[in-house]
Structure 1
Amino acid sequence: MEKYEELLLALRKVIRATDLYSKQLHKSTGLTAPQLLILREVALAPSGITASAVAQNITLSPATVSNVIDRLEQRQLIHRERSTQDRRRVVLSLTPQGAERLSAAPRPLQEDFINKFQALADWEQSQLLAAMQRIAAMMDAERLDAADVLEVGTYAKHHFPQDD
């Protein structure tokens, strides 16, 4: 097998693992990975956080975050409230149902990865990071929305509609 074929196989395995986790997460919690990520981010700010701050913190576009927040609000997991100090500002907070759903959710897939990655020597962490950044550049993926948790099915649906 050629080296590029081995590399593509390894990438497919990573994508598959992420996709399987996302499906398992949705089945067990009723939440998608981005929804869980946004709930976690809102929970980290007990006094409230704006949608734009959430988008910036998790490196998703404000439009994407806004759509996910709309769905979370419809499901009564997040509450939007106009700030009393600045009426132009809308802050997000978890509802009791949102806090309950979040506490019952499993740890994100990448937490195990992070623990294993941080156990590596600094030089090996740097080497892996540089290699992945190079791969992203070679795949023209630098400008794509990215999040700490991936949801592969959504990306494919939006970028490859002929597969539907």
Structure 2
Amino acid sequence: MENRVQTSLIALRRILRATELNARTLARATGLTTPQFIVLSIVAESDEISPKGIASRAGVGQATATSLLDKLEARDLVKRTRGEIDRRIVWVTVTDAGRETLKTAPDALQEVFASQFNSLQDWEQAMIVAVLEKVGSMLNAGAIDASPMLDVGAVDRKQ
């Protein structure tokens, strides 16, 4: 039984290390954290999107989305403009530099996971979700607010 505990802990550590290594690779290639990269990707997928829409799609709070947008805008990767009809609305668009950053970036770990996960049969997906939720519960992580990003550290941290 002890062997299973060790094997489980090794598997968890490998997942954490893979997340860490991917974040470092992404940072070296783009200068962005994983959450910044995800927000940039969300903006690039839309002609224009509001910070509220970004927050919703990224699974983060609006204040966090705004903080991430501040960092991206400072690097000229996104641009914010006021709505023409309703000046209270802010629209975010990707810049040419932002598109180039996305083009040259390595695949984000969550994209690799999503691709492989989606290729599994329905029962396999359900089993994985159940096991991961159980592991999270065993680690008393059920109440931790988490966005669907495979990354380590605070979402709105500095590089």
TM-score (structure 2 length as normaliser) = 0.87
Q: Distance in 1 between matches of 2:61 and 2:13?
A: 25
Q: Distance in 2 between matches of 1:119 and 1:96?
A: 33
Most deviating of 82-91 and 131-140: 131-140
**Post-superposition CA distance 1:94-127 (Å, at most 9, x none):** 1121111112112212222223222322111111
Instruction: Please report how far the alpha carbon of residue 71 of structure 1 lies from its aligned counterpart in structure 2 after TM superposition.
Output: 0.7
Cross-structure match for 2:36:
35
May I ask how many residue pairs the two structures share in their alignment?
A: 155
Instruction: Please report how far the alpha carbon of residue 79 of structure 1 lies from its aligned counterpart in structure 2 after TM superposition.
Output: 0.7
Partner of 1:152: helix, strand, or coil?
Answer: coil
Instruction: Please report how far the alpha carbon of residue 142 of structure 1 lies from its aligned counterpart in structure 2 after TM superposition.
Output: 3.2
Instruction: Please report how far the alpha carbon of residue 5 of structure 1 lies from its aligned counterpart in structure 2 after TM superposition.
Output: 3.1
Give the partner amino acid of 1:20: L
Consecutive unaligned residues of structure 2, counting only runs of 5 or more, are: none
- Does the Cα contact within 8 Å between 1:19 and 1:153 map onto a contact in 2? no
Q: Does 1:44 align with 2:45?
A: yes
Cross-structure match for 2:26:
25
- Does the Cα contact within 8 Å between 1:76 and 1:98 map onto a contact in 2? yes
- Does the Cα contact within 8 Å between 2:109 and 2:150 map onto a contact in 1? no
Cross-structure match for 2:61:
61
Q: Distance in 1 between matches of 2:125 and 2:115?
A: 12
| Structure 1 vs Structure 2 CA RMSD | 1.8
Consecutive unaligned residues of structure 1, counting only runs of 5 or more, are: 158-164
Structure 1 residues 140, 86: CA separation in 2 closer, same or farther (over 3 Å shift)?
farther
Cross-structure match for 1:122:
122
Identical pairs, percent: 37
TM-score (structure 1 length as normaliser) = 0.85
